[in-house]
Amino acid sequence: MPLDIPAVRLTGIAPEIALCATALLLLVIDAVLGERRNRWYLPALASIGLGLSIYFATEAWGTTRLELSGMVAVDGFASFVKITLAVFGLLTVWLGRDFLVRERAEEGEFYGLVLFAVAGMMLMAGAADLIVVFLALETFSLALYVLVGFRRRSLLSQESSMKYFLLGSFSTAFFLLGIAFVYGAVGSTNLYGGEDGPGIVSSFMATGASDVGLLILAMGLLIVGLGFKVAAVPFHMWTPDAYQGAPSPVTGFMAAGSKIAGFAALLRLLDVTLYPLREDWRPLVIGVAVLTMVVGSVLAVVQEDVKRLLAYSSIAHAGFVFTGLIAANDRGVSGSLFYLATYGITVLGAFAVVAVLSGRDDEKVTLRDYRGLFYDRPLLAGALTLFLLSLAGVPVTSGFVAKLVVFGAAIQEGYWWLAVVGMVTSAIAAFFYLKVLVVMYMQEKETEDAERVRSGPLSTGVIGLAALATIVLGLYWGPLIDVAERATLFFAGG
């Protein structure tokens, strides 16, 4: 029997391959060289790998094609998300290096796991088949479960890792069941369909079935699985606990990375593949979006722990991105991309400040510890102020422009009331960001620190870069929005 060897062109997943190869090399080098005083070569190698993946993702910009038997899409959308993810990865690696050296817990596994997680998230952005989405989801989730528990001696870290793992596996089961139901309903799991086989919607149309019940059930299950990863209400329970217990650099990476990866899959699934059925999925997603915005903003108000506060804020932000997704037009998709990119950089900056201030064992993270911060460490307080204002959506920061584009897209599609809900919840959210500012500027410090934790050069660099990006994108947003719009154009072509 002659074998049919498929045409394998690996250019479609070159960024992911570069990352995985670097991660393997890094782990082997670390294992062979063993314990050393200064392992500068580990973050350096990780940075090279991430740089390579940016190069490969840029190479693919401007083309639109399906690779690997229709399993992976190579388009502007995927390139945009991949480059953004690699930037998040770079910031995380640099921040993590300073943090781990301070905590005396530097291990090669940290960098390896971050690289594997970024690779999984990238695959999610390019996945053109539900099975590949599942594979990518598991790849980055497994890496994150371990990263959350990376402070092995901390009970809190272990507990949050365990919770995240158990709930994560549970949500994955939902996602898998959703894939099975999609296959049962239409006989295909491919998001586009092409010469290698029919896609979900083309098979659905071909059967001429008027009953969309099973497909809608499947869609709901898929939304549960992906909604868990982007921390949408009512699948958000894990978020505060996992964010609180994880090492601060990892928390920033989770907030930035898993959000953009989850939304990349949601955007491709709902706004492209299931676009013809948009009247069917919209009520469901609108409900999730409204709940997410309201619950995230309201529950954040009572938080006393800065990391939990930022966790609820990240839930609310997922709701804001949903408005762009619900609009399902070009502006909505490009706006969501812009939102996720700028939010990710801002939140990484915020968690970088938290990581520096948290001190030994990552413990000083309550609002009480932030009292009078401005008079003690004006630059860090200033940077945190900037990030919080951007998260609140104050003009002259990137957060304002991001909210403007997603709400604008929703209004354009006639969902003005959804935009109103977004604005009201933003106003509620502004309250707790201001609460942190009041604590930092207007309250007296209670006790003197026994030891003052210094911000290392890498952390300072990450905070500086994030602050710069937050301001520059707030004043001069045109180019990035342009790029996001061009990414969307390639993407709609399928």
Partner 1 sequence: MSLPAYLPVLFLVILSTLFAAGSMFVASKLSPAKWTAAKVEPYECGIEPQEGGVPGGERFPVKFYLLAMLFIIFDIETVFLYPWAVAYDELKVFGLIEMLVFVAILVAAYVYVWRKGALEWAE
With CB under 8 A as the contact rule, the residue among 51, 62, 184, 213 that binds partner 1 is: 213
Considering the complex, state which of residue 216 and residue 492 has its C-beta at the smaller distance from partner 1: 216
28 sits near partner 1 (criterion: CB under 8 A): yes
Q: Are 359 and 453 in contact (CB under 8 A)?
A: yes
CA distances from 458 to 99, 353, 359, 385 (A): 9, 12, 16, 20
7 sits near partner 1 (criterion: CB under 8 A): no
Nearest 5°: the CA angle 321, 324, 327 is 150
DSSP conformational letter for 192: S
Q: Kindly state the smallest distance separating residue 69's Cβ from partner 1, in Å.
A: 15
237 sits near partner 1 (criterion: CB under 8 A): no
What is the CB-side half-sphere exposure of residue 458 using CA atoms within 13 A?
19
With CB under 8 A as the contact rule, the residue among 5, 37, 450, 452 that binds partner 1 is: 5
Considering the complex, state which of residue 137 and residue 286 has its C-beta at the smaller distance from partner 1: 286
450 sits near partner 1 (criterion: CB under 8 A): no
With CB under 8 A as the contact rule, the residue among 162, 209, 214, 411 that binds partner 1 is: 214
**Size (the chain), residues:** 494
Characterize 166-198 residue by residue with b for buried, 16 or more Cβ atoms within 10 angstroms of its Cβ, and e for exposed.
Answer: ebbeebbebbbbbbebbbebbebbbbbbeeebb
24 sits near partner 1 (criterion: CB under 8 A): yes
Q: 172-211: which residues touch partner 1 (CB under 8 A)?
A: 211
Q: Kindly state the smallest distance separating residue 107's Cβ from partner 1, in Å.
A: 10
- Number of neighbours of residue 208 by Cβ within 10 angstroms: 6
Q: Are 289 and 323 in contact (CB under 8 A)?
A: yes
What is the x/- site pattern for partner 1, positions 261-300, by CB under 8 A? Answer: ------------------xx-xx-----------------
Q: Kindly state the smallest distance separating residue 283's Cβ from partner 1, in Å.
A: 5
What is the CB-side half-sphere exposure of residue 309 using CA atoms within 13 A?
23
Q: Kindly state the smallest distance separating residue 282's Cβ from partner 1, in Å.
A: 7
Considering the complex, state which of residue 25 and residue 428 has its C-beta at the smaller distance from partner 1: 25
Residue 414's SS3 state is coil
Smallest CA-to-CA distance from 224 within 236, 206, 213 is with: 236
Smallest CA-to-CA distance from 190 within 327, 71, 349 is with: 71
Q: Are 166 and 157 in contact (CB under 8 A)?
A: no
212 sits near partner 1 (criterion: CB under 8 A): yes
Q: 295-334: which residues touch partner 1 (CB under 8 A)?
A: none
Stretch that binds partner 1, among 19-27, 75-83, 93-101, 252-260 (CB under 8 A): 19-27
- Number of neighbours of residue 275 by Cβ within 10 angstroms: 14
Q: Kindly state the smallest distance separating residue 28's Cβ from partner 1, in Å.
A: 5
Q: Kindly state the smallest distance separating residue 30's Cβ from partner 1, in Å.
A: 8
Considering the complex, state which of residue 195 and residue 211 has its C-beta at the smaller distance from partner 1: 211
With CB under 8 A as the contact rule, the residue among 27, 81, 182, 384 that binds partner 1 is: 27
For residue 304, give the H/E element and its range.
none
35 sits near partner 1 (criterion: CB under 8 A): no
Q: Kindly state the smallest distance separating residue 345's Cβ from partner 1, in Å.
A: 33
Stretch that binds partner 1, among 27-35, 294-302, 355-363, 479-487 (CB under 8 A): 27-35
Q: For residues 33 and 96, give the distance between their C-alpha atoms in angstroms, rounded to a whole number.
A: 20
Work out whether strand 72-74 and strand 65-67 pair parallel, antiparallel, or are unpaired: antiparallel
Considering the complex, state which of residue 234 and residue 395 has its C-beta at the smaller distance from partner 1: 234
Stretch that binds partner 1, among 21-29, 141-149, 231-239, 322-330 (CB under 8 A): 21-29
Concatenate the DSSP letters of all residues of 329-378 into one string.
SHHHHHHHHHHHHHHHHHHHHHHHHHHHHTTGGG---BGGGGTTHHHH-H
Considering the complex, state which of residue 161 and residue 385 has its C-beta at the smaller distance from partner 1: 161
Q: Kindly state the smallest distance separating residue 122's Cβ from partner 1, in Å.
A: 18
138 sits near partner 1 (criterion: CB under 8 A): no
Q: For residues 73 and 56, give the distance between their C-alpha atoms in angstroms, rounded to a whole number.
A: 14
220 sits near partner 1 (criterion: CB under 8 A): yes
Contacting positions for partner 1 (CB under 8 A): 2-3, 5, 8, 24-25, 27-28, 31-32, 34, 211-214, 216-217, 220, 279-280, 282-283
